[in-house]
């Protein structure tokens, strides 16, 4: 006999917290018997869509999608292994799986798995690959500083500065370094959202600004470009248009809209 398996996200509008938000629950029903578990998410009752089982915030909905996929995956694994699954057994298995991470590397891994589940839907493969590299750097940093995972509750602004120094030693450019620091900060925001920590430890930090030397086109450069012989028709057109913009001061957006009728030989 084939089992019936349903997942429903819902809220209790009668139970709200001081900030007006209420918890989002997940009800799993297998063969008519149900088990309820918390998703770790919350929203304002007015923003909840009961018919679709979605909140008003995009990030919350993305995490609910990942939660649903985890429930479905765990159910399929248990069904394959044991042959039969009850709602209560599935709940017990999931409660050990979806508990909010309380350490830095565990939080990083949780974000990594979430993004992986969204590849091809709301995230690009390149985003996932970039996060893998960022996660490796974070793990190398932890290893260099004793090797033990760091409890989120004990993280201070000092860790941000230590990680910045670690990245500098690796010779990373300022822009690249800031990307990894921003991800570290994002993990802290996630910890706040999940109620693991009360406040963000890096709210007052400052990021280094990349000093870029502005390059100016010299007269000699323009002269070389004017004397340049180009055989390719499209490349020659690009050369002429660039020189035209140099002498007229037209922006690229104006060059894109330029028509022959706009050009006059006399005022």
Residues 80 and 33 reside in one and the same domain:
yes
pLDDT one-digit tens code per residue, 124-145: 899 999 999 999 999 999 999 9
pLDDT value for 151: 94
> Is 69 part of any domain?
yes
Report which of 21, 27, 25 is spatially closest to residue 5, judged by C-alpha positions.
27
pLDDT one-digit tens code per residue, 34-87: 999 988 899 999 999 999 999 999 999 999 999 999 999 989 988 887 677 888
Residues 39 and 71 reside in one and the same domain:
yes
Half-sphere exposure of 142 (CA within 13 A, CB side): 19
**Percentage of the chain exceeding pLDDT 90:** 53
> Is 199 part of any domain?
no
Residues 185 and 234 reside in one and the same domain:
no
Q: Domain range holding 92? A: 5-97
Residues 138 and 56 reside in one and the same domain:
no
pLDDT value for 36: 92
DSSP letters for 82-109: HS---HHHHHHHHHHHSSPP-BHHHHHH
pLDDT one-digit tens code per residue, 192-208: 887 889 899 999 999 99
pLDDT value for 1: 44
Quick check: 186 pLDDT over 80? yes
CB atoms within 10 A of CB 235: 11
Domain boundary among 53, 68, 97: 97
Quick check: 162 pLDDT over 90? yes
pLDDT value for 69: 92
Residues 118 and 170 reside in one and the same domain:
yes
Q: What is the mean pLDDT of residues 181-193?
A: 92
> Is 131 part of any domain?
yes
Burial of residue 102 (CB within 10 Å: 0-12, 13-18, 19+) is middle
Beta strand residue intervals within the chain, DSSP E: 5-11, 22-30, 33-43
Instruction: Report phi then psi at 179, rounded to 5.
Output: -65, -45
For the record, the structure tokens of 110 come out as: 């949780």
Domain boundary among 80, 97, 114: 97
| Average pLDDT value for the chain | 89
Residues 256, 257, 262, 267, CA torsion sign: negative
Number of domains in the chain: 3
Domain boundary among 193, 210, 240: 193
Q: List beta partners, residue 28.
A: 7, 35
């Amino acid at each position: 006999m084939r089992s019936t398996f349903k997942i429903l996200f819902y809220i209790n509008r009668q139970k709200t917290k001081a900030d007006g938000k209420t918890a989002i629950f997940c009800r799993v029903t297998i063969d008519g018997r149900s088990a309820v578990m918390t998703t770790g998410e919350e929203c304002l009752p007015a923003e909840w869509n009961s018919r679709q089982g979605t909140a008003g915030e995009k990030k919350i909905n993305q995490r609910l999608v990942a939660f649903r996929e985890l429930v479905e995956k765990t159910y399929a694994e248990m069904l394959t292994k044991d042959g039969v699954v009850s709602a209560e057994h599935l709940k017990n298995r999931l409660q050990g799986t979806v508990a909010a991470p309380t350490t830095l590397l565990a939080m990083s891994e949780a974000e990594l798995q979430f993004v992986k589940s969204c590849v091809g839907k709301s995230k690009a493969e390149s985003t996932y690959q970039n996060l893998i590299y960022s996660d490796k750097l974070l793990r190398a940093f932890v290893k260099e500083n004793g090797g033990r995972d760091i409890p989120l509750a004990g993280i201070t602004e000092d860790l941000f500065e230590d990680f910045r120094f670690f990245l500098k030693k690796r010779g990373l450019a300022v822009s690249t370094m800031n990307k990894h620091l921003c991800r570290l900060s994002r993990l802290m925001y996630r910890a706040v959202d999940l109620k693991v920590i009360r406040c963000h430890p890096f709210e007052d930090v400052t990021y280094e600004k990349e000093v870029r030397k502005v390059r100016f086109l010299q007269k000699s450069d323009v002269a070389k470009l004017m004397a340049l012989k180009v055989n390719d028709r499209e490349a020659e057109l690009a050369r002429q248009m660039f020189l035209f913009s140099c002498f007229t001061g037209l922006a690229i957006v104006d060059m894109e809209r330029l028509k022959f009728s706009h050009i006059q030989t006399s005022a």
